[in-house]
Amino acid sequence: MNIDLDFSTIYTFMFSLVSWLLWAVGRVLGFIGIDEGSFFYPIKQFLVDPQFVTFVSYLLVAVIYFVFVFLFAGLTVIWMERKLLGRFMDRRGTQVGVLGLFQNFADGIKTLLKEIIIPRDADQKVYTWAVVLIIATSAMLMGLVPWDDEFYAVNVPLALLLGLAVFSLAPFAILIGGWASNNKYTVIGGMRAAAQLIAYEVPMLLVVVSLVVMTGSLNFVEIVNWQNDNIILLVPLAIGALTFFVAGIAEVERVPFDLPEAEAELVEGWQTEYGGFRWGLIMLCDYIRAYIVCALFAILFLGGWLGPEPIPGAVWLLLKTFFLFFMMVWVRAAMVRIRTDQILKIGWRRLLPLAVINLVVVVLIKVYSVGGW
Amino acid sequence: MAEEVKKRTTYRSRKELKPRLYIGDPMVAVFRTLVRTTINRPNTILYPWEKLIMPDCFRGRPGIRLEKCIECKKCVKICPNQCIQMVPIDHPTLGKVNRPQVYVARCMMCGYCAEVCPTNAMMVTPEFELAAYTRSDLMFDPFKLQYEHKPGYEVHSPMITPSELKAGKTESHDKGDMAIKDTVELDPKKCISCQRCAKTCPVGAITMADTGEVNPKTNKPVKRPVFDNNKCVSCEQCVEVCPKSCLSMKEAM
Ligand code: SF4
Ligand code: SF4
Ligand code: SF4
């Protein structure tokens, strides 16, 4: 089904809006006497340049997209987690506003209004840029994950690989963020985070390799199309799906693999020294990443936006994603956290062999059932 | 069963800790909670809108009936947190009197003041929502402390001793019972007939009675206080006020 709200529409609208605005600006400039021959004429020329108009409209679309996505995906997911955790724990979750929907906005405003404190001896630049790195990578990932086969920000041929590459920038940002805060706890937290995230990167990539072998593509749209033509990948790749899910939970630092954050043991983990809106953004990015992992899982193993007709594809993807996030919340409500050595042991000694087995299974299927390469 | 429990050491063996214990059981348990709380409702009480029904014996902040108070200061003495003070007030009908004021911020709502009050002037109220913006708001002066009396707000503490129970006694003592009341004792040798105790006694339980003797120095008749134990409320005011320390409380139990 076609969705009216696709990006070309928004873009066209933005383009006309921007060109109209700039045209108006040009008129005003002409009115106050800046015209051909004037000293400021190049500025007017620059403003009405079609390339500039295109650039501005792209920028506007990007801003709208990210604000929409951060608000929609991030806040819904946070709200879901709060509400569901409440029910899981026999209490109520948030209660502000209708169904507690406004609590997130209240918290956002609260963190926004807090003073930004940078520790005196911190490495200021790295301290600041680590946050930017995390936010930027999350935003980039958000742009990579499509909503529908016609509703996406970008559609690069190697999207899956690029996505995982961007994902694996997180340990770097966390490590330098923890180091730059100039606090022993944050350094230890950062190191633990790096160890954990790198340990779980490997099985995740191996599962992706099996996906490539199976579908012959690294593009989300093609992978989903392959599933449309053949079979939902969860069925042949059940082991891989499990591995991916567990590794995904670890990658986004959620219970039981939440050592990087480690509220209880390491004060607040690597983000101890971050405060105010930076901390808020880091938390938001945590949830955005959780959302992305769920969306990736839904696209890779559950057929993405495939589903019966009357409901649009993007909604199907959202439903699947939310279901997976529900699973994550469930795990969070039920599990106890585990130690560093156990985390690494599970990563290297359980998930890695599982991923390899999954790969073997895929190769066997490919060779015997589909008739070889 | 008990044997088995005894045999267990502090640590569980590794075999006992199957993955089921970490993953399966908790997952099932929380899911059951989710279903239950979704179908019914969570265990939370939405406090400002919903409130628990107070039990009959609930003891909130103390309240007072100004007319019944006899200024005996028993409440001041008993309060474990020392939050009661006697303050002078100007009452339209009672005139200038002293009445207790309570610093509710410090009150732990033990209800001792109500329990000890011989006239049930002090009582417990069902009020427990006492939040205020300043500390001084929580200093309840006698007028603010006033509360409408309803049966049940006074505290009765029936008493019975173990020896009495053993002896087969079933009915217990109540407030004002002579058997449990401390009484005042006089050491007549020390008394100088100053009459201060008689003036202090809030219930007028002391009368100065002639002994028939005459003081050789002043040629005035010697008087000694006589205590009406039925009226006495054991407030120790007389003991405190006596300049020669000739009074003491004789404990009943
Ligand atoms: S209730 Fe207890 S703490 Fe409060 S004023 Fe009375 S005796 Fe003191
Ligand atoms: S114990 Fe009762 S009668 Fe005595 S001063 Fe206190 S309130 Fe008044
Ligand atoms: S006789 Fe003494 S203890 Fe008894 S009520 Fe009078 S002042 Fe209080």
Element housing A203 (H / E): helix A184-215
Distance B111 CA to ligand 1 centre (A): 6
The string of DSSP codes covering A124-179 is HHHHHHHHHHHHHHHHHHHHHS-SBTTB-S---TTHHHHHHHHHTTHHHHHHHHHH
B177-194 burial, b at 16+ Cβ within 10 Å, e below that, comes to eeebbbebebeeeebeeb
Assess if residue A208 is contained within a domain: yes
Ligand nearest to the CA of B203: 3
Distance B79 CA to ligand 1 centre (A): 5
Record the tokens describing residue B107, joined without a space.
């009150």
Question: Is residue B51 pLDDT above 70, yes or no?
Answer: yes
Assess if residue A125 is contained within a domain: yes
Q: What is the pLDDT of residue A320?
A: 92
Q: Decide: A73 and A94 in contact? Cβ < 8 Å.
A: no
* CA atoms of A221 and A216, how far apart (whole Å): 12
Q: What is the pLDDT of residue A293?
A: 92
Closest of A227, A238, A213, A248 to residue A324, by C-alpha = A248
Between strands B122-124 and B62-64, the pairing is: antiparallel
Assess B43–A contact: CB distance below 8 Å, yes or no.
yes
Q: What is the pLDDT of residue A3?
A: 42
Give the pLDDT mean for B174-191: 82
Assess B176–A contact: CB distance below 8 Å, yes or no.
no
Could B42 and A91 be called an inter-chain contact, meaning their C-beta atoms sit closer than 8 Å?
yes
Ligand 3 within 6 A of B198 CB? no
Distance B195 CA to ligand 3 centre (A): 13
Assess if residue A7 is contained within a domain: no
- Binned at pLDDT 50, 70 and 90, residue B247 comes out as very high
Q: Could you state, in chain order, the average pLDDT of each consecutive group of 10 residues for chain A (373 residues)?
A: 53 80 79 70 75 81 80 86 90 83 87 87 88 88 83 82 87 87 84 87 91 88 88 88 92 81 66 84 88 92 85 87 93 85 88 93 83 50
Assess if residue A126 is contained within a domain: yes
Assess if residue A162 is contained within a domain: yes
Contacts of A333 in chain B (CB under 8 A): 30, 34
Assess if residue A64 is contained within a domain: no
Nearest by CB to residue B34, choosing from A87, A92, A335, is: A87
Give the model confidence (pLDDT) of B55-79 as tens digits. Answer: 877 888 999 999 999 999 999 999 9
Contacts of A335 in chain B (CB under 8 A): 22-23, 26-27
Quick one: how many helices (H) and strands (E) in chain A?
Answer: 15, 0
Q: What is the pLDDT of residue A278?
A: 87
Record the tokens describing residue A75, joined without a space.
């806040």
Mutate to test the interface with B, among A81, A84, A87, A330 (most CBs of B within 10 A): A87
Give the pLDDT mean for B31-58: 87
Q: What is the pLDDT of residue B4?
A: 66
Q: For residue A7, how many C-alpha atoms fall within 13 Å in the half-sphere facing its CB?
A: 22
Nearest by CB to residue B33, choosing from A88, A331, A335, is: A88
Ligand nearest to the CA of B231: 3
Give the pLDDT mean for B160-176: 80
Of B234, B240, B249, B250, best ligand 3 pocket probe by most atoms within 8 Å of the beta carbon:
B234
Assess if residue A192 is contained within a domain: yes
> What's the structural domain count of chain A?
1
Radius of gyration of chain A (CA): 23
Residue B171's region, left for phi above 0, alpha for psi from -120 to 50, else beta, is: beta
Assess if residue A68 is contained within a domain: no
Residue B184, beta-bridge partner list: B249
Could A87 and B44 be called an inter-chain contact, meaning their C-beta atoms sit closer than 8 Å?
no
Ligand 2 atom closest to the Cα of residue B113 is 1
* Of residues A4 and B155, more confidently modeled: B155
> Residue with the nearest Cα to atom 2 of ligand 1?
B110
Placement of tokens 């944050």 in the chain: A186
Of B73, B77, B83, best ligand 1 pocket probe by most atoms within 8 Å of the beta carbon:
B83
Secondary structure class of B200 (helix, strand, coil): helix
Ligand nearest to the CA of B182: 3
Nearest by CB to residue A88, choosing from B22, B34, B43, is: B34
Q: What's the domain range around A124?
A: 114-369
Distances, alpha carbon A45 to alpha carbons A17, A59, A353, in Å: 18, 20, 62
Question: Is residue B86 pLDDT above 90, yes or no?
Answer: yes
